[in-house]
Structure 1
Amino acid sequence: MNSEKSLTELIKSMQIAKKHVEPSNINSVCVSFDGESIVTASDGDTVTLYSCADGGMKRLLHSKKYGCENVKFTHHESQILYSSSRGNDHAIRYHSLHTNQYIRHFQGHTDRVRCLAMSPTDDYFMSCGEDNTLRFWDLRSPNCCGMMETKGVPIGTFDPEGLIFAVGIDSHLIRLYDLKSYHQGPFSTFQQVPDTSLNWIGLEFSLEGSKILISTNGQHMKIIDAYDGKTKALLGNYQNTAQLPLNAVFSPDGATVACGTEDGFIHLWESEKGEHIGKLDGRHPNAVCAVTFNQSSDMFISACSQLCFWLPDEKYD
């Protein structure tokens, strides 16, 4: 990162370096752990692999029978996970991009999978389903290695060290668990004031682990303290009248939050007090439902039916 500019300043200066148009809406994007590749899943039942080095498309695959969403890289740069987007098969698919073959199916959920989260440190991942269960899996085995029943549809995420995980339940409760002893119950429970006008659709820890970002399908989001659950910031001033599932993300340093909106912009906030600090105009023709940062470089990615690679304007000098 440029030592003369903060990362927030670099993000605010970003311009589109590369753009791809896909035939249907992109529902999820993920950057590989090594920062070299990006994978997208679309409502058109396609999985597409892109290079971060030049923004070029490397591979196009199809998942026509059951669709695809919630795409995630494993720690292997050519292997991914994704869940089904339709039908009665709620299996999670473990797919090799190199050979275009399934490595394994993870079966157990009896309703649609809402989110997937890969451990940042090893081969474990979690899945959260509309069957009111959170399940743990090891990539090396087809069998579920742990399950929690929740009174409501859960969403979950790991902390940056992979030692604890957070579970959000029914858009008003967050519980923190030690991964090694989660069966003993949560070590912290944070009750949030219910807001019946929206639903929580995603959780994310900041990289240093001190904050949790709660994404919603409403017109505001929240950042809470990861140690006491108190509200640190409310993020608003963006458009989502259609109540779309807009997943927000922290910047790599945790100082900035970015979220796409239904009017095609990407809005930016500073994360300490929730001040709205600007927006990026990618001229997206549709709602921007998927955004992510590349943790290994000054790159940001946004997606609707267009996939945009963003770089700071100084990269063009």
Structure 2
Amino acid sequence: MSTITSVELNYLVFRYLHESGFIHAAFAFGNEAGINKSSIDGTLVPLGALIRLVQKGLQYLEMEANLSNCDVDLDEDFSFLQPLDLITKDVHELGKMVNERRKKLKKDRNKESEKEHEGGRGLVKGKDRHERVKECEKDGERPENRKELEQQHGNQTCKEMVTDQEDMVTVMREDNEAFRGPEPMDISTVLTSQTNEISRSDVIVLEGHTSEVCACAWSPTGSLLASGSGDSTARIWKIAEGRCKPALLNDPPNVLVLKHARGKPNEKSNDVTTLDWNGEGTLLATGSYDGQARIWTTDGEVRSTLSKHKGPIFSLKWNKRGDYLLTGSCDQTAIVWDVKAVKWKQQFEFHSGWTLDVDWRNNVSFATSSTDTKIHVCKIGENLPIKTFVGHQSEVNCIKWDPTGSLLASCSDDMTAKIWSMKHDKYLHDFREHSKEIYTIRWSPTGPATNNPNRSLVLASASFDSTVKLWDVELGKLLYSLDGHRDRVYSLAFSPNGEYLASGSPDKSMLIWSLKEGKIVKTYTGDGGIFEVCWNKEGDKIAACFANNTVCVLDFRM
């Protein structure tokens, strides 16, 4: 009589059947084992029962191959069952037990992950678009059919907190010229004075969304702020000019609710994933997880619904003239919409992966980036790309044309940012100083074709390595490495005058950097991860949207 554990026996049965090709498995197991009885966790089991166990194992393996949502290793599945379960229960009961225990295991793992990252991993723009891409690819499902994601976020109110001063060190620069320096500097800056904290009296907390707020954008011409959320709504907030006055929040906020859901409230297929104002500030476009783009007036009325994509819209941009809207989707296509005619102008189907970002070069040409690692430059009326940039080794998360439309910046999960020119096939610069994936990039509003032509053009990049880096595009080198966040950096925004840079992170903090002094000058910390930050056109207010369902508007004065 021999003694083995239940997991060992389960694994032995599975491995033997698997490696023998299922030929005479029951007979072979009985003879080669050379036993008449076995002790399973103290229970004697006759040889006949073991043979029936093997026969049932064959049925179970066949059933296992057909089980849905098989996201757990087969070897691990047998650890879910006890030997007596295999002997005493039929195949359907075993399958039900495995599925139930899989679900429990997955739920427990998700809870551990959420606890580790204070609200869940990959929280960006509400639902991390790259995590959704990977999940959909893994499951082989179209994203529009996916069920509600399991990530849950807290429902707390945004509040100001003091940044932990003990973790911070201030590095001062003695001789600063705008964006220039002989060597790149690692700037690990923290606040040494409470004068750097944005006062509670200078913050308005906008409440009303019932799920994480993943996008926000100021109107380019007025005091309207748009926000998009996982609660199937976008909202247009009227922000009074002048100083923020939180006391007014005792009255109902001046807000318009733009409902995207046709069915139940908070239906996840209607998550608002992206939004953009036209140049005149008269129309707001929103993209949704249901694959539809919608155009709204400033009165909150839907002007048109644009339907042709077969998957979630990840990126959406107006051209400068405002007659075309460009959308990119995980259906691997980009579409140009004729806004006046309320119909699609042209669909571009050049990518073999999901289209993650789009950006206009001018009124008729644009670039698209994808999980297929490629960047295509397209033009309305052309049936093929007019340029294709190849050089990234992983999905290209973000692309941005510089203010002149002559240089294209890109960033990728391959941990590099690159600069491209229409005059060259290969990248002009390859920035490799980040140690993890680069999520987003932004050009400074400086240099030619901007309101600050006498200042040098700079590119900023934000990475999962918790740093923001500034690059001299002309010389192709690193200027500064800004190290102040304690988690991934998801969002960047330059002030209109190009003197300041705001960054937001899941570490719940927004940091405002002075690019001239090379240090943090203001900070704000809330109760949820920050998905996006943006400046108003005057440069005296900054908005930030949070995972705790709120939007905060902060006064900025130096």
Give the alignment's TM-score, normalised by structure 1: 0.73
CA distance in 2, matches of 1:60, 1:75: 27
Q: Is the 8 A contact 2:400 2:442 kept in 1?
A: yes
SS at match of 1:171: coil
Letter in 2 for 1:289: F
TM-aligned CA deviation for residue 211 of structure 1: 1.1
Higher RCO (C-alpha 8 Å, min separation 6): 1
Q: Is the 8 A contact 2:492 2:504 kept in 1?
A: yes
Q: Is the 8 A contact 1:250 1:256 kept in 2?
A: yes
* Aligned with residue 83 of structure 1, among 325, 328, 331: 328
TM-aligned CA deviation for residue 249 of structure 1: 1.8
Instruction: State the partner residue of 2:206.
Output: 19
SS at match of 1:289: strand
Instruction: State the partner residue of 1:202.
Output: 440
Matched, 1:270 2:521: no
CA distance in 2, matches of 1:60, 1:80: 20
SS at match of 2:388: strand
Instruction: State the partner residue of 2:463.
Output: 216
Once the two structures are superposed, residues 94-126 of structure 1 have per-residue CA deviations (whole angstroms, 9 ceiling, x without a partner) of: 56899987666443322223333233x534332
Matched, 1:162 2:400: no
TM-aligned CA deviation for residue 301 of structure 1: 1.9
TM-aligned CA deviation for residue 224 of structure 1: 1.3
Instruction: State the partner residue of 1:302.
Output: 544
Instruction: State the partner residue of 1:48.
Output: 234
Greater helix share, 1 or 2?
2
CA distance in 2, matches of 1:265, 1:97: 38
Letter in 1 for 2:462: S
Instruction: State the partner residue of 1:74.
Output: 319
Matched, 1:287 2:534: no
CA distance in 1, matches of 2:196, 2:336: 36
Structure possessing the higher radius of gyration over alpha carbons:
2
TM-aligned CA deviation for residue 150 of structure 1: 2.9
Q: Which runs of 5+ in 2 are unaligned?
A: 1-194, 241-253, 261-269, 271-287, 292-310, 448-456
TM-aligned CA deviation for residue 203 of structure 1: 1.7
Once the two structures are superposed, residues 274-312 of structure 1 have per-residue CA deviations (whole angstroms, 9 ceiling, x without a partner) of: 31223124x3x4210111223355332211232333344
Once the two structures are superposed, residues 14-60 of structure 1 have per-residue CA deviations (whole angstroms, 9 ceiling, x without a partner) of: 9334614333333333445546755545445x462626666733644
Q: Counterparts in 2 of 1:92-171, with a 5 A limit?
A: 92=334, 105-119=347-361, 121-138=362-379, 144-152=385-393, 153-154=395-396, 155-168=398-411, 170-171=414-415
How many residues are matched? 290
SS at match of 2:317: strand
TM-aligned CA deviation for residue 172 of structure 1: 3.0
Q: Is the 8 A contact 1:11 1:312 kept in 2?
A: no
Classify 1:52/1:104 alpha carbon distance in 2 versus 1 (closer, same or farther; 3 Å): farther
Give the alignment's TM-score, normalised by structure 2: 0.45
Classify 1:74/1:26 alpha carbon distance in 2 versus 1 (closer, same or farther; 3 Å): farther
SS at match of 1:286: coil
Once the two structures are superposed, residues 201-242 of structure 1 have per-residue CA deviations (whole angstroms, 9 ceiling, x without a partner) of: 1121111142110111221121111211222211122221xx
Percent of aligned pairs with the same amino acid: 13
Q: Counterparts in 2 of 1:179-198, with a 5 A limit?
A: 179=422, 181-183=423-425, 185-186=426-427, 188-193=428-433, 195=435, 198=436
The root-mean-square deviation of aligned C-alpha atoms, in Å, is 3.8
SS at match of 2:530: coil
Classify 1:73/1:253 alpha carbon distance in 2 versus 1 (closer, same or farther; 3 Å): same
CA distance in 2, matches of 1:251, 1:287: 21
CA distance in 2, matches of 1:48, 1:97: 20
Instruction: State the partner residue of 1:57.
Output: 256
Instruction: State the partner residue of 2:498.
Output: 254
Letter in 1 for 2:209: E
Instruction: State the partner residue of 1:6.
Output: none
Instruction: Out of 13-22 and 254-263, give the one that drifted further.
Output: 13-22
Classify 1:247/1:264 alpha carbon distance in 2 versus 1 (closer, same or farther; 3 Å): same
Instruction: Out of 75-84 and 228-237, give the one that drifted further.
Output: 75-84
Classify 1:72/1:33 alpha carbon distance in 2 versus 1 (closer, same or farther; 3 Å): farther
CA distance in 2, matches of 1:126, 1:199: 21
